[in-house]
Structure formats: structure tokens, C-alpha cells
Structure 1
Amino acid sequence: MLLTFSFLTGFGQSDEDAILEIREHRKKQEKEFRDPDTSPLEKRDRRHFAGLKYYPIDLSYRVKATFVKTENPVLFKMQTTTTRLPEYVKYGEVHFNLQGKDLVLEVYQSQDLKKRKEYEDYLFIPFTDETNGEETYDVGRYIDFRIPKGDEVIIDFNKCYNPSCSYSPKFSCPIPPVVNAVPLSVRAGEKRFKESH
């Protein structure tokens, strides 16, 4: 699984700084794709890699959200693109408004990853939207998240990315639960890599 972390701060951040942050995030992601040690690409795809495809940066997809922590998280096995069933808990929810709609997305914590010091505060938001299968990867996309210090956070869909299994079948990736289906076309972040897979 490709993990491109970014802290979700940004309250009071200027538009110019927000755009710069998104560009830096994309630059870092593409650097990882070119590195044989970190790239999820198949060798043949890496050889011809000309960059990832993104929607133009649109700050209307960078939204303020309220984080609500789950009081008594329950362990469950998340479906993946293979037969693997990793254990997760629903760590909390983010409540926000996008395109005039009030939305809620669940935030999850991997029970395997949290045992590793560098990922102990790592959470993620897998989601689907109405662009999947056409403009974006069929299975859905992810947003990285860190355990926040307060209940106000920024969710930036400009930084959402494809799971590693969209680049190679050797990966097993969590499938976004049905509750995280966004009833909108989220034209922000990463587009599908190519027509196959």
C-alpha cells in the first residue's frame, strides 16, 4: 500500500499556500512512483512512466470538517481486492459539506499498521464517488489522515489517490465500505492510471 502522508492542518492557510502544498504532495507521490524501491508500478509501466493523471487543483474540494471519534470502536474485517481480510476499527467520522450536500465519511485504523511506530497515528478514509469506473479507478480512492489533536480538520480531496492495486494485481487493497459512497462526482485528486486493471 502506498502511503503518502500529509498532516491535515491548514486553518487560516492562504490559497497560494494550499495550492503549493497540493503540488508538493503530487511531486512527492510521483517521485515514489519513479523509485524502484517504493513504486507500486509493474516494471514495464515504470519504464514508460510519464506521470500520474490528476484533475486540476480545485480548492472547493478542500473542506473544513468536524471530526467525531468513535467512543467504542469495534474490530471488523475489511473486504479487499483479494481474499485477504485485514482487521480495522472505525476510528471516527468526518462531517462536512461538499457541493451543498452534508456528508459523513468513516475514518478507519489498520490494526496491523498501528503496531509500527511510524504509522501508529495513521488513519485513512477510503471512499467511492460517481466518477469511479469512468474517470477514476473502479474500486475507489483513498485520503490519508492522521489522528487529529482537535475536532476541526481539513479534508482535501485534491490529495486523494488510487490504491496500489490500481497499478498492479500483486497488491491487495481495502475496498471502501458502502457507507463511504459519496453521492457526487468528486472531480479532484488522482484520475485512473490507465484503462486496463
Structure 2
Amino acid sequence: GFTGIERYPVDAGWRYEARWVPHEEGRSIDIATVLNTIEPMPNTGTIEFEREGKTHRLEVVDEGDGALFVIFADRTNAKETYGAGRFLYADPLDAEHVVIDFNKAYNPPCALNAFSTCPLPPPENRLDLAVTAGEKRYHGPH
């Protein structure tokens, strides 16, 4: 049965009021899936935040509901977190800023179930840092 999912301790240092850079209407980004397919998804903008003296950028996709959905990978993948990345929603703050809280990062359905299909992080969303926030890798049965 389901054994639950471990999480990193909540750390306010992983919550950012980040810069929102909207893209022109109609832009899309190719998103690979675990089934080796490519699906173009609406790419509404870029989130920019500072960490470890560097500016990091994440491309946002719209699943059709207007929410700011991020599919990302980082240096914890496969060791501490799910190997294919994690998901996260950002919250609009104003026209130029969003709140992105990595404490809310969660595993995609395919981390829990071998019968799910999942989008994979685009190359642009592979962060060169270890995001030690949010859900850890699921160790229970699939």
C-alpha cells in the first residue's frame, strides 16, 4: 500500500518573490513525455530568481487553466527526489512578479504509478542547483 511521501523540512529560503517575464501570445515549448512523445505546450512566460549568486530561469507552461505550471529538474533528482523531476505552481503577485515556493514542489503521477504518463522538464528548466525543498522520492510500491 501507499506509504506516504517524505518531504524536506519547510525552509523559507526556498520561497521567492521572483520576476515574471511574460512571452508573446501564442508561444509554445516542446515538452517530452515518459512515453517518448513530444507535446508542444503553451509557454506563457519565464520566472527568474536569484540563488547562490546566479540568476535561474524557469519556463512556465499553461495546461489550459491559466495557472503558472512549472516542470523542473535539479541536482537532487534520482538521489533524493524523483529522477524525472518535479512539478510546482507559481502564484501571480503583480504584473511583473510571482511567488515561487519550492517547498510546494511535488512528484509527478508517474513517480507513484507505473501506468501514468508524465511530462518531463524541458532543457531550459534543468536547474544547476540542489533544490532541497518539497517532496522527496517515493520509496513505496508502484
TM-score (norm 2): 0.89
Runs (4 or more) in structure 1 with deviation over 4 Å come to 146-149
Distance 1:108 1:148, change over 3 A: farther
Query: In proportion to residue count, which structure has more helix?
Result: 1
Which residue does the alignment assign to 2:52?
A: 99
Which residue does the alignment assign to 1:88?
A: 41
After TM superposition, give the deviation of residue 89 of structure 1 in Å. 1.5
After TM superposition, give the deviation of residue 152 of structure 1 in Å. 1.3
Which residue does the alignment assign to 1:159?
A: 104
How far apart are the structure 2 equivalents of 1:169 and 1:76?
Answer: 26
Please give the residue correspondences for 1:4-153 in structure 2 after superposition, counting only pairs within 5 Å: 45-46=1-2, 49=3, 51-110=4-63, 114=64, 120-145=65-90, 149-153=94-98
Which residue does the alignment assign to 1:12?
A: none
Instruction: Report the AA paired with residue 81 of structure 2.
Output: T
Write out per-residue CA displacement over residues 136-192 of structure 1, whole angstroms, 9 at most, x where no aligned residue: 000001111356652111110000011000001111000000111110111010100
Give identity over the alignment, percent.
35
How far apart are the structure 2 equivalents of 1:161 and 1:151?
Answer: 25
Across the aligned residues of Structure 1 and Structure 2, the Cα RMSD in angstroms comes to: 2.0
Which residue does the alignment assign to 1:182?
A: 127
Contact 1:129/1:140, CA 8 A, preserved across alignment: yes
Larger radius of gyration: 1
Gaps of 5+ in 1: 1-44, 115-119
Which structure would you say has the larger RCO, counting Cα contacts within 8 Å and 6 or more residues apart? 2
Gaps of 5+ in 2: none
Secondary structure of the residue aligned to 2:110 is helix
Secondary structure of the residue aligned to 1:193 is coil
